[in-house]
Amino acid sequence: MPAVLYEKKGHAAYVTINRPEAMNALNQDVQNTLRKIWEEIETDDDVFLAILTGSGQKAFSAGADLKEGESGHRKEDFLYMRGFLPKGPAAREVSKPIIAAIQGYCLAGGLELALACDIRIAADTAVFGCPEPRWSLLHGYGALVMPWTVHLSNVMDLLLTGRRIDAQEALRVGLVSRVVPVAKLMPTVDEIVSQILQAAPLAIKATKELARMRERDGIEPALRAYYSYRALLHHSQDYKEGSTAFKEKRTPAFKSR
């Protein structure tokens, strides 16, 4: 089965992360496939918007597949940090609206992927969290863009504690725009799709650009700072301890070195 499913229904593109056996974790295959799909959506004049979800009921996505390891990405990250390699177009760079339909776990890189979408609709089963610091990792993109959506105090609560919150708390802090029973998740998303498709596509694209302009203007320098911090972290003893502890399913013993 493909790692990501892609289906067009009229002017809407439905994108489904298809690794339910791994909580839809974002391995390299998923990430490469998603990038190609975002490129196709961006250039396909017959697609006016996209819907992103995860296969099965357990997870939208539990984040990066840490079992696969991150060492293969370090060269790419370094080149991007130095300005030699573009990182995209990713979901955040698509000019057309993207709706995230979230049920189950939406954690770490999965939450960052949801944050790159324009509208987030959550089932009442959804669970959100940023557990990366518990393993000496960074919730980098999320830390950069979440303050545009969520009050900074709530952002810090999520980022620094690594705790998980349910859909109702996510709605309270502004992380999602609606919470619905799980059986009504896709019908609600389809209703929003229908409403957006009643508007002129060019007007929708221009509106999205205006709404995200301030964020876009500041994101590239901030992303380069994130990759700089991540490169430093990768050379720390705590990073090695966090990676080992995750694989051994134990609590890390960090030493701030």
Q: What was the pLDDT predicted at 137?
A: 85
| Nearest in space to 176 (alpha carbons), one of 198, 197, 155, 149 | 149
Name the H helices within 198-255.
201-234, 237-248
Kindly name the residue from 132, 209, 220, 248 that is annotated as catalytic: 132
Taking the C-alpha atoms of residue 3 and residue 16, their distance in angstroms, rounded to an integer, is 9
Q: What was the pLDDT predicted at 72?
A: 46
Q: Is 112 a catalytic residue?
A: yes
Residues 139-163, mean pLDDT to the nearest whole number: 91
Residues listed for the chain = 257
The predicted model scores a pTM of 0.86
Taking the C-alpha atoms of residue 217 and residue 93, their distance in angstroms, rounded to an integer, is 12
Kindly name the residue from 7, 70, 112, 169 that is annotated as catalytic: 112
pLDDT in tens, 13-41: 999 999 999 999 999 899 889 999 999 99
Q: Does residue 180 carry a pLDDT above 90?
A: yes
| Structural domains present in the chain | 4-197 (3.90.226.10)
| Residues in a beta bridge with 52 | 15, 100
Q: Is 40 a catalytic residue?
A: no
